Amino acid sequence: MSPIIDGDTLQTGDYLTESIGGTSLATPLAAGQAAVAQQINHTVTGFANPALYKLSKLVPSVFTDVQPPKAPVALAYTSAISGNKYLNTLDQDTSLKTTKGYDDVTGLGSVNFKLALFLGLVSY
């Protein structure tokens, strides 16, 4: 699942904590989504992977497939904290690419509210 992705995973300066995205943001968001799904369905999900893969086969629309961009995409920005300038390109990695369906970048895709409604169907 890929709730949030960002390109700020490499820091080359002094240690700095920023809460802007990546796994540190995506993991608690995904946990929160799973908690909402459990509350709505009055179920316990437990280890979610089997339920998520089963659900992706039964109701594929609970995941929004993240498609590769039609043209190269770049994000240039200057850090407000350090003043460093960055250029991030999206989907231009040498080995990891977004593709139709499952891929190593976004997994099954990003989740939507249907996940909360249907997760109870395949949970314990």
In tens, the pLDDT along 56-113 reads 888 888 888 888 888 888 888 888 888 888 887 877 777 888 888 888 888 888 877 7
Fill in the amino acid letter for 31. A
Q: 8 lies in a domain?
A: no
pTM here?
Answer: 0.63
Q: 79 lies in a domain?
A: no
Q: 57 lies in a domain?
A: yes
Q: 12 lies in a domain?
A: no
Strand intervals (E) in the chain: 63-64, 73-78, 85-90, 110-111
Provide the pLDDT for residue 15: 57
Q: 48 lies in a domain?
A: yes
Q: 54 lies in a domain?
A: yes
Structural domains of the chain, count: 1
pLDDT in tens, 4-54: 555 455 556 665 555 466 777 778 888 888 888 888 888 888 888 888 888
Q: 42 lies in a domain?
A: yes
Instruction: Say if CB 84 and CB 29 are below 8 A apart.
Output: no
Q: 91 lies in a domain?
A: no
Q: In terms of residue numbers, what domain contains 43?
A: 23-65+100-122
Does the structure show a pLDDT above 70 at 1?
Answer: no
Instruction: Say if CB 2 and CB 26 are below 8 A apart.
Output: yes
Taking CA atoms, 4 is separated from 7, 40, 47, 93, in Å, by: 10, 23, 21, 17
Provide the pLDDT for residue 13: 65
